[in-house]
Amino acid sequence: MAEASMDAEAPTVRLGLLGSPNSGKTTLFNALTGLRAKVGNYPGVTVERREGSTRVDGRLVQVIDLPGTYGLDPVSPDEAVVARVLAGEVAEVAPPDALILTVDSCSLERSLWFVAQALRLELPTCLVLTMTDELTARGGRIDLERLSAALGIPVVSVVGHRGLGVEELRGQLRDPAAWERPPILPPNDPSERQGWMESVIERVLVQRPERDPLTAAVDRVVLHPLGGSLLFAAVMVFFFQLIFAWATPAMDAIDAAMGAAASGAKTLLPAGLLADFVSDGLIAGVGSVVIFLPQIVLLFGVLYLLEDVGYMARAAFVVDRLMGRIGLEGRAFVALLSSYACAVPGIMATRTIPSPRHRLVTILVAPLMTCSARLPVYALLIGAFVPATMAWGPLGWQGLALLALYLIGAAAALVAAAVLNRTVLRGEAMPFVLELPPYRFPPLRLWASQVWGAASAFLRRAGTIILLVSMVLWVLLTFPQVPAPPGANEAEASRHALENSAAGRLGMAIEPAIAPLGFDWKIGVGLVASLAAREVIVATLAQVYAASEEDEVSLRKAVREDRNPRTGELVFTPATVASLLVFFVFALQCMSTLAVMRRETNSWRWPVFAFGYLLALAYGASFLTYRIVDALWS
């Protein structure tokens, strides 16, 4: 009651977080609201507005996190978000009543130019100096009182990721309307504004920070023409080895737990449809995907570490020239790199790309980058069919096979971009500028919580879309129930039931279309189901084999030993496995990607185009792979 009446007295405040890219806005947003929005040491992590709220003395304060921007004339879609929110042009977002202006204290000399523009918006403004720990470490000093006096607005200094200074900032949030306002606005004319800026710097910058010695030393190695490339290659090879070597024990443990759960369900529940549904439908379906959690955690762990440390921006710098050859730019590379996690954030990340054409090309090829949803599929097939022996020294065949699949995907993305740039889409080049942040070591807790965020998103998918598809599939695999022919033994009877189920008939119907790729009807059912999301094929195969085997065997063993009942040949021959892997390298089987493409390009035209060209590529490449491997093997 008390709170409600207070709300009525003190209207809510809407605060906008404005500032240069990578200046610590989202870190501050998280500290104020308690949310866990994505942060990273790369300019352009936030590409969409995000709202949160907090209470200060019982008063509701809404905070809007915005993408970073260097100026108020937008040059890219993420910067346009800022301009539109400020202008109140976004229908569902009321414009902010006050601004928190973040300035990286180490780049004050550059940032005052933007401060001058922001003050001319004539909203109550509080300046927050971030990264003050780094300023001190680099021997720099800023006189806060003089800065506040020179600008005529309140100034707070913080170390955002450690929460220092955040309480003081909260104190300020009590009443933004009462903040001191500049007596006269900074000049608009460029040369007058520069004069204003230099005079402020002269008064407040007591000691200019030195160049960060660590960043200079590390860059001598990382950006070295030869050393840097070798280092990069070594990191990649190591990474893929790690995915197999380190994840296996944890995966085996989950596998055993799922097996126990399935047989537990069978013994606890009365034999019949319900027991089958729980053990063969739900547990086999969802469990087969959840097994890959350790690998997902490793993948995101490494990706986020590279980003938080500051390596991503360097990678963009190093490969920009190569990207230029195929008509793209370094930032497209970073968008493609984040598509290794998932194409959805990768496609969102293209908002930092100024040129609409570059952006569209990047969106269209992003699905070729090997996203984490393919990992379960690759891991299942490689784990089942590639020997777990060492190829050369500490390098195992399985890790090398996985690395090869990732490389094929990346190469295909680059070739597709070059072709699209020369044919479907043409236009002129746009400027490329990118700021390199200093190397940073984020608190372990922050990194762990971001990795956990990604892992729980994976589990949520398993608990929603994969659970849903598993249930539907179980029904389709179980009904209609056709009585077995007389005299059939148990194995023949369950095979008969499967072949006559709705899903079985669907698989049989499309078998002629996929037979040239070496796929049988069971794989066909999996392919159809995987249109929802790629990893569903693993759940599907798990259900198909759970339904057809009487005793519990691991999915890996089941696919390895499955034989065609008519010919007695193995279903998964080397040629079929290779062909299926190649199909997954190319095909765009993901509803979420299609939806985000539609949203980011504002039309169905591009998602339909992407789906079509990738399906054609997948079919063609699988067909060739099947023929070639088949010929070589026999």
Ligand X SMILES: Nc1nc2c(ncn2[C@@H]2O[C@H](COP(=O)(O)OP(=O)(O)OP(=O)(O)O)[C@@H](O)[C@H]2O)c(=O)[nH]1
Residue 223 binds what, of Mg ion, ligand X, another protein, none (CB under 5 to 8 Å, by partner type)? Answer: another protein
Residue 308 binds what, of Mg ion, another protein, ligand X, none (CB under 5 to 8 Å, by partner type)? Answer: ligand X
Q: Which residues contact 39 (CB under 8 A, 6 or more apart)?
A: 26, 27, 30, 45, 161, 446, 450
Q: Quick one: which of 219, 255, 276, 308 contacts ligand X (CB under 6 A)?
A: 308
Binding mask 144-183 for ligand X (x = CB under 6 A): --------------xxxx----------------------
Residue 442 binds what, of ligand X, Mg ion, another protein, none (CB under 5 to 8 Å, by partner type)? Answer: ligand X
Residue 176 binds what, of ligand X, another protein, Mg ion, none (CB under 5 to 8 Å, by partner type)? Answer: none
Q: Least distance in Å: CB of 16 to ligand X?
A: 13
Q: Quick one: which of 22, 370, 372, 601 contacts ligand X (CB under 6 A)?
A: 22
Q: Is residue 317 close enough to count as binding another protein by CB under 8 A?
A: yes
Q: Is residue 26 close enough to count as binding Mg ion by CB under 5 A?
A: yes
Q: Is residue 80 close enough to count as binding another protein by CB under 8 A?
A: no
What's the token pair of residue 547? 């339904």
Please, what sign has the CA dihedral across residues 509, 568, 386, 258? Answer: positive
Query: How far is Cα 530 from Cα 535, in angstroms, rounded to an integer?
Result: 7
Q: Is residue 321 close enough to count as binding another protein by CB under 8 A?
A: yes
Q: Least distance in Å: CB of 21 to Mg ion?
A: 8
CA 212 and chain centroid, separation: 30
- The DSSP H or E segment spanning 418 is helix 397-422
27/54 with CB nearer ligand X? 27
Report the residue number whose CB is nearest to ligand X: 68
3-state secondary structure of 16: strand
CA proximity to 371, closest of 398, 345, 351, 397: 345
Residue 440 binds what, of ligand X, Mg ion, another protein, none (CB under 5 to 8 Å, by partner type)? Answer: ligand X
Q: Is residue 143 close enough to count as binding another protein by CB under 8 A?
A: no
Q: Is residue 68 close enough to count as binding ligand X by CB under 6 A?
A: yes
Task: Output b/e per residue, 326-344; b: 16+ Cβ within 10 A.
Answer: bbbbbbbbbbbbbbbbbbb
Q: How many residues bind ligand X (CB under 6 A)?
A: 28
Q: Quick one: which of 97, 143, 175, 435 contacts another protein (CB under 8 A)?
A: 435
3-state secondary structure of 392: strand
Backbone φ and ψ for 70, nearest 5 degrees, come out as -90, -20
Residue 75 binds what, of ligand X, Mg ion, another protein, none (CB under 5 to 8 Å, by partner type)? Answer: another protein
Q: Is residue 131 close enough to count as binding ligand X by CB under 6 A?
A: yes
CA proximity to 140, closest of 441, 446, 438, 443: 438
User: Between residue 435 and residue 494, which ones bind ligand X under the rule CB under 6 A?
Assistant: 440, 442
Q: Is residue 218 close enough to count as binding another protein by CB under 8 A?
A: no
Looking at residue 140, what DSSP letter applies?
A: -
Query: How far is Cα 166 from Cα 31, in angstroms, rounded to an integer?
Result: 7
Q: What is the DSSP string of 244-263?
A: HHTHHHHHHHHHHHHHHHHH
Find out whether 96 and 16 touch, Cβ atoms under 8 Å: yes
| Residues composing the chain | 634
Q: How many residues bind another protein (CB under 8 A)?
A: 38
Query: How far is Cα 50 from Cα 60, in angstroms, rounded to an integer?
Result: 17
Interface residues with another protein (CB under 8 A) are: 70-71, 73, 75, 106-110, 113-114, 190-191, 194, 208-209, 211, 219, 223-226, 228-229, 317-318, 320-322, 324, 330, 429, 431-436
Interface residues with Mg ion (CB under 5 A) are: 25-26, 45-46
